[in-house]
């Protein structure tokens, strides 16, 4: 089938030249803008299965995600870390969603050298509990910890005896015929392995000054019996059964403030570690044979340097025993010295969270590369309705803007930029709908400010009046969050689902919310990379303009007081 190009060569040449011009403008006004995105893709071979229409999970989606992540690793980070962790957990879902992440150091030095030591989703090696024990003991040795600190972890036989006792007398535990498929799979897995066989092995581990610290965990039942569930062994350790620790002595592990300055990362060189110390530890590395793979659960570590040290020991062990592994558990701490791409499941789509680009040229290379790798993975950007009409993926393609570090975020350095964006979007409603999908309005994924409560515009004017102009006073990074957190929301008060989302700008909840990022959510997935880049160039150009000429005035111009969103648009003459 012949199809005319959506963006001609002549049009793209003009857009590309404009992108370079906008970059020069951003540099001249010291805006320091970075731009990422969240494109979504669907299978080009299957348009009807639930996993590619309405469901977040599916048998093929995880395999495609693994293949896509590996292709992205070859393109962007040949020595990056593939992390197979857990994502968001939504109400009504039996378990958290998985999240495949690609991490790499910005200084170009390796995080994980050998791709052959990263187990594939399709592997059929079937490692055993003995393999997990040998691997954990070898990791302990590489970290200077005694092998005696490695402890077996078992499924709780008391729990499963009670669950088995609930079954009908003529039903076997290996075929329980339960209505809940997750509960059925959980029981079959526990009894098929055998309750006397370790589910995995744990190595209590935390950093103390320049050495590692470990502990021989003791429980009243003498063995480590895991909490029931589907999560990895490292997420189900019986920490509440360990000896009580006074609050003042509890070994808390905290991450560094994302706004703090960082020194350069050390070179990834193997060295003989000092002997580990004995002490109170409540975090652990765990190794578990599961789904024909050996999974290594990374412990919670406060600094990136400590995480890299454990990762180096894990890869050295994998090379020694010639055993590919999956790295799961806690991801590396959020750190501006790392870049990351995440591939996660959403209802009907695969979502790719891209790393930020620092220039127009880098942005073009990233998006063209992602679209190309998705196509090679048999992933596309189009679905079809029942009447045959084509439509986008339905998952959106949000645009994320910020700075190279939270401190350099243009919105935290110059709060008037976000004020200008809000004013301009409110005065030009077409920007909210021109690039959106089929679903718009108050209950959509990206409602406008005036699609929530009617009085929101009046409160917005009060909040915007408190934002200082460029160059007025010292930057106060918390100011925008305090002023706008309860205004840039949907009808339920959810900050994440607003059209202009500041959920990760400077949230007080956790360090992961203080990243200096603003997300534009009213963008549907573009059919090709050039059209998506054209949309992103529009946002870049507007921010460059606002950096030179901030927007002023009220959110609603032309009418004394509007009562509805439609009234606002008609009175202001902004329908176009």
For residue 301, give both structure tokens. Answer: 């570590």
pLDDT of residue 147: 93
pLDDT class for 95, splitting at 50, 70, 90? confident
pLDDT of residue 50: 92
pLDDT of residue 571: 40
On the question of pLDDT at 111 being above 80, the answer is: yes
* Residue 399 near residue 537 (C-beta atoms within 8 A): no
Task: For residues 504 and 491, give the distance between their C-alpha atoms in angstroms, rounded to a whole number.
Answer: 19
pLDDT of residue 180: 65
On the question of pLDDT at 514 being above 50, the answer is: yes
Kindly state the helix (H) or strand (E) to which residue 442 belongs, with its residue range.
none
Q: ∠ CA 486-490-496 to the nearest 5 degrees?
A: 80
pLDDT class for 554, splitting at 50, 70, 90? confident
pLDDT of residue 258: 77
Give the pLDDT mean for 476-493.
90
**Residue-averaged pLDDT of the chain:** 88
pLDDT tens by residue, 292-311: 899 999 999 989 999 999 99
Q: Among 116-120, 124-128, 192-196, which is the least confidently predicted range?
A: 192-196
Task: For residues 546 and 424, give the distance between their C-alpha atoms in angstroms, rounded to a whole number.
Answer: 10
CA nearest 564: which of 556, 554, 552, 576?
Answer: 556
pLDDT tens by residue, 122-168: 777 889 999 999 999 999 999 999 999 999 999 888 877 777 777 77
Q: Which residues contact 146 (CB under 8 A, 6 or more apart)?
A: 140, 214, 276
pLDDT of residue 202: 96
pLDDT tens by residue, 214-244: 999 999 988 999 998 888 999 999 999 999 9
On the question of pLDDT at 573 being above 50, the answer is: no
With pLDDT > 70 as the criterion, what percentage of the chain qualifies?
A: 92
Kindly report each contact of residues 178-182 with a partner whose C-beta sits within 8 Å and lies 24 or more positions away, as own/partner. Answer: 180/94, 182/94, 182/95, 182/230
On the question of pLDDT at 193 being above 80, the answer is: no
pLDDT of residue 569: 46
CA dist 110 → 71, 77, 321, 549 (Å): 17, 9, 21, 43
On the question of pLDDT at 574 being above 60, the answer is: no
Task: For residues 362 and 543, give the distance between their C-alpha atoms in angstroms, rounded to a whole number.
Answer: 18
Give the pLDDT mean for 42-50.
91
* Residue 445 near residue 436 (C-beta atoms within 8 A): no
pLDDT of residue 176: 65
* Residue 522 near residue 437 (C-beta atoms within 8 A): no
Task: For residues 327 and 317, give the distance between their C-alpha atoms in angstroms, rounded to a whole number.
Answer: 13
Give the pLDDT mean for 105-130.
91
On the question of pLDDT at 201 being above 70, the answer is: yes
pLDDT of residue 556: 62
* DSSP label at residue 273: P
On the question of pLDDT at 175 being above 70, the answer is: no
With pLDDT > 90 as the criterion, what percentage of the chain qualifies?
A: 62
On the question of pLDDT at 351 being above 90, the answer is: yes
* CA contacts within 13 A on the Cβ side of 154: 16
CA dist 442 → 451, 491, 494 (Å): 5, 6, 12
> What pTM does this model have?
0.90
Distance of CA 159 to the CA centre of its chain: 34
pLDDT tens by residue, 270-282: 778 888 999 999 9
pLDDT tens by residue, 378-412: 999 988 888 888 888 888 999 999 999 999 999 99
pLDDT class for 567, splitting at 50, 70, 90? very low
């Amino acid at each position: 089938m012949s199809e005319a190009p959506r963006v001609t060569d002549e049009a793209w040449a003009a857009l590309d030249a404009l992108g370079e011009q906008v970059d020069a403008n951003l540099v001249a006004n010291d805006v320091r803008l970075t731009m990422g995105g969240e494109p979504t893709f669907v299978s080009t071979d299957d348009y009807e299965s639930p996993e590619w229409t309405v469901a977040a999970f599916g048998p093929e989606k995880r395999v495609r995600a693994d293949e896509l992540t590996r292709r992205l690793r070859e393109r962007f980070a040949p020595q990056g870390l593939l992390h197979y962790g857990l994502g968001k957990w939504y109400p009504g879902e039996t378990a958290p969603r998985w999240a495949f992440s690609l991490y790499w150091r910005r200084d170009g030095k390796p995080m994980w050298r050998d791709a052959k030591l990263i187990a594939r989703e399709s592997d059929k090696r079937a490692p055993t509990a003995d393999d997990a024990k040998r691997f954990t003991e070898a990791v302990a040795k590489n970290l200077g910890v005694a092998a005696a600190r490695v402890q077996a972890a078992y499924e709780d036989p008391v729990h499963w005896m009670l669950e088995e006792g609930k079954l009908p007398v003529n039903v076997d535990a290996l075929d329980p015929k339960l209505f809940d498929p997750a509960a059925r799979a959980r029981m079959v897995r526990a009894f098929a392995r055998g309750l006397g066989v370790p589910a995995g092995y744990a190595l209590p581990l935390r950093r103390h000054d320049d050495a590692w610290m470990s502990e021989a965990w003791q429980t009243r039942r003498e063995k480590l019996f895991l909490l029931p569930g589907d999560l990895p062994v490292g997420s189900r350790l019986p920490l509440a059964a360990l000896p009580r620790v006074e609050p003042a002595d509890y070994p808390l592990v905290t991450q560094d403030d994302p706004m703090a300055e960082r020194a350069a990362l050390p070179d990834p060189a193997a060295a003989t570690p000092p002997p580990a110390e004995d002490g109170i530890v409540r975090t652990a590395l765990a190794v578990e044979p599961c789904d024909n793979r050996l999974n290594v659960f990374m412990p919670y570590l406060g600094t990136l340097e400590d995480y890299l040290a454990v990762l180096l020991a894990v890869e050295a062990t994998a090379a020694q025993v010639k055993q590919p592994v999956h790295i799961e558990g806690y991801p590396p701490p959020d750190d501006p010295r790392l870049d990351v791409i995440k591939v996660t499941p959403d209802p009907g789509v695969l979502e790719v969270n891209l790393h930020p680009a620092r220039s127009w040229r880098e942005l073009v290379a990233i998006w063209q590369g992602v679209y190309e790798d998705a196509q090679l993975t048999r992933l596309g950007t189009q679905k079809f309705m029942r009447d045959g009409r084509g439509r986008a993926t339905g998952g959106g393609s949000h645009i994320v803007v910020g700075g190279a570090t939270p401190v350099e975020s243009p919105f935290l350095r110059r709060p008037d930029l976000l004020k200008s964006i809000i004013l301009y979007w409110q005065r030009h409603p077409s920007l909210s709908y021109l690039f959106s999908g089929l679903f718009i309005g108050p209950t959509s994924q990206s409602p406008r400010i005036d699609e929530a409560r009617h009085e929101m515009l009046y409160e917005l004017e009060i909040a915007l009046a408190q934002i200082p102009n460029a160059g007025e006073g010292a930057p106060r990074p918390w100011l925008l969050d305090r002023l706008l957190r309860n205004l840039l929301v949907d009808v339920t008060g959810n900050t994440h689902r607003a059209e202009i989302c500041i959920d990760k700008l400077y949230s007080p909840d956790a360090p992961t919310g203080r990243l200096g990022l603003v997300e534009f959510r009213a963008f549907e997935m573009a059919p090709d990379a050039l059209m998506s880049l054209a949309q992103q160039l529009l946002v870049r150009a507007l921010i460059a303009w606002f950096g030179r000429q901030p927007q002023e005035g009220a959110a609603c111009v032309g009418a004394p007081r509007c009562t509805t969103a439609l009234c606002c648009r008609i009175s202001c003459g902004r329908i176009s």
